[in-house]
Structure 1
């Protein structure tokens, strides 16, 4: 009986600490009408770049908030957009405390990578920075979901694909909860004869930010 009791305690602690259980706890809060704060942290894909540094009114955090409020019939769900144009994972790591942790979020959705390719930040440094972000969120007991970079067209295409593949390996090896946006968007690009309708400036899914929100909602539905 004593051994069973110890096992149950250890099992409960492991479940409490697991990344999956943290997300499940947030989903339970949303479904029971409790206040939930989600921070979306990343580069211009998160910010919602449209054109000439104009922010799209349909950036994915805005859409995500509306969809979550509707899905869970909970108007107290708040999604905060902490994306910034042209930023790399190093910026993300350096500013995590002031821009994210200080907001005391229940859940953080993180996405960097394209600018790491553009500004020649090495793959190893990219992986290190993303793991630093993850470890800090875990240390603060904040639920987290990481998104791979979305694909691009043109000269950076191969680099972004490589970085996406490598960070996917890191997420799997470290049991990090992640959503493979690269593969999902790549399927969309491969299914159309007009890829510029998806990425009109070769980088930003200007007319498809809703797809990111939809994929996050679908991911949550797997819990």
Structure 2
């Protein structure tokens, strides 16, 4: 089967801001990013530019090995696109990256989501609004809300996403698996791998 795979990274850093958002949404993992590869070498989103200051934000290229992110709780999903769709998403993100200095984080938009008031600001987005915007036009990525109302949980609820990992982000590199081998209800963790390995060893010894 042709096409390319896009990856969605959902994280919870445990900061005061993320806790506040979790409280308001009654959901966890309320930050979403996009990656073009399964090793998460290119990860893009809208978030804080300075890890120590949640109020200075905009378009960011995230480093999953940074002190700010590596201890995050996370879930990683694979999403299959056609070659043309993948190229469009990639091009759109690169266009935003070239104008990164003009973009800001849409803090007012977060209140708009809570109050269900459309707040569309030029060159301003929050993380899930960014994802919904760059995937606009993808055939399978059909959401029934305007981009300014989209939450990370809305994206996680889309059909076609395949869960490939859930756990601590710093442990992900030891647990990379092919997404086609598992369903959205099956997660390969260190514990389950160790359990399977012990069973194999017992079988061989016998």
Please indicate, yes or no, whether the TM-score normalized by the shorter chain is above 0.5: no
- Give the alignment's TM-score, normalised by structure 1: 0.26
Q: Which has the higher strand share?
A: 2
- Give the alignment's TM-score, normalised by structure 2: 0.27
Q: Which has the higher helix share?
A: 1
